[in-house]
Structure 1
Amino acid sequence: MQIGPYSIAPNVVLAPMAGVTDKPFRLLCKRLGAGLAASEMTISDPRFWTTRKSLHRMDHDGEPDPISVQIAGTEPQQLAEAARYNVDHGAQIIDINMGCPAKKVCNAWAGSALMRDEDLVARILSAVVNAVDVPVTLKIRTGWDCDHRNGPRIAHIAEDSGIAALAVHGRTRDQHYTGQAEYETIAAIKAALRIPVIANGDIDSPRKAAHVLAVTGVDAVMIGRAAQGRPWIFREVAHYLATGEALPAPPLSEVRDILLGHLQALHAFYGEPQGVRIARKHLGWYAKDRPENAAFRAVVNRAEDPASQIALTTDYFDHLIADTRQTAAAE
């Protein structure tokens, strides 16, 4: 998949997620096979650009190309200024958020709420595209609700405005993340456009990724929630798409090492005590599909400092690995 001058390979990308796709997580997912990883949503209001949270979100030092930064807002010229500001601070692709279903975002008429006003969408897209010399991408949903599935019209507006690629989540805003993503609207959008289209929603396995690519004809798939606690999903999907073969699940020793590296990166990036607090949700995601989930979280959530969090996680996994080996030997 080509976005402006950038070749995105493999065609499996990380969805921008507020509170999740920070720099440590983006770097990890890229290392494990994501072809592109956009930043967390950054607000377009310049009054908030110097807050601690925004400074962390705008830190792209050392990230591999291309650096994609997602911006959100409602006012065309303010979004244009935000795009210029982020390009000046390292962004190589600007992504506009019109897909977030969160109430606090939509109540401010940002995120997917913008899809209710197609004229405003056109003004925003034109303002941002004309403001910067880098590719501008857009993320939308299939519509505001089931009676207003206007994703195809927004897609045409996007292409006409000069948007370089379009990501579509297969749900309306009112569905949030409930039910099942539908791909018919995404397929219709892809068939009608010349620009690259990326499918998002419920892609949680290599086979599902291959299925979505086949039924929609899109250029790439975007993975969000399924990467939480499973950042190796990108290499699994990429390998399956390239070879038709499924990779084995990573051994516990590799999961331990990936997790420890992620924790250390979070501690270094955020410092104390924030890094320890933020790491707790990632620890829970890593354990969510394992039978020892509750016991693991009970142990690691006691940690109040980076050294304790690392030590408790290491000890827990080392004991788990030893028990697994003993069980295998007994069999």
Structure 2
Amino acid sequence: MTSTQAHPAPVKSQGTEHAADDGFSHKLARVADTVETFLVERLGPEVGPGEIARPPRLMEAMRHAVLGGGKRLRPFLAVETARMLGGSEAGALAAGAGVELVHCYSLVHDDMPAMDDDDMRRGKPTVHKAYDEATAILVGDALQTLAFEIVADPTWQPDASIRADLVLGLARASGLGGMVGGQLLDLTAEGRFGPVSLDVDDTLRMQAMKTGAILAFSVEAGAMVGGATTDERAALLRYGLALGQAFQIADDILDREASPEAMGKATGKDKDAGKATLVDRLGLDGARAECDRLVGVCEEAVSRWGDRAQTLREAARFTVARKA
């Protein structure tokens, strides 16, 4: 939140000799706990420098939207990429937390009646249901701006050029040419603005923007903090883009097959709404095969780092094997 607040507890580094003994789910949970602590501190009631007041209702609704749920995969990718490269874990944690806040803001707005109209998210009422639509709009706005405040704060990243790259990258990934533009294409695919038919390439483009851009930037953020070379960043971008595509296909499969209880939200809505998915275009077996292919792309992209990239390889496999 501000440069006067304490640094987050560092994510403890783990040698490769112990990696095989420690399951991926435990690594993910450890980083998630650290991210949760960081976000709790950023969403407290204390007024920071430059702030006049923190309205209690707004803060309560923001905490409802962000805390106590989610796998925190996006900050995990930032932290683990930076860790692999030997970069600052505190810097990667802050950058990843910024991405997570953008992700949470997108969920708040996506759940609203004008968008996907969902009543449940992560097993609890969505923000517009727990509060009201006006509050939900403002929660999304506030989470987005808080994300950029954190990413731009020199407390976590003293190098001004890296901060500038992080802010620029997050803006591009989340904005009109990324997540927001992809959301508009998703609504277009439903026929909201007139008849339309998306082929496989159109569907891939929409998903790369709506979901993939933010996931890919999570990896890029870790690369920036870790001081990756231009060639290394290109390889990690290939990894991130393939991971984002695999994540969305796996999500579409889960929407067809998983229960609402497992997902913590309604399922089967995408098909009912006529949303464009690769499950529709390729079938379930074809979609699963594409997920497997994309995992192979991810593994090839990080092959140069050998054992140091084991966690990123595990993240790709987790993305397509998850059950919620």
Question: TM-score, with normalisation over the residues of structure 2?
Answer: 0.27
Higher relative CO (CA 8 A, sep ≥ 6), structure 1 or 2? 2
Question: TM-score, with normalisation over the residues of structure 1?
Answer: 0.26
* Rg (Cα) greater in structure: 1
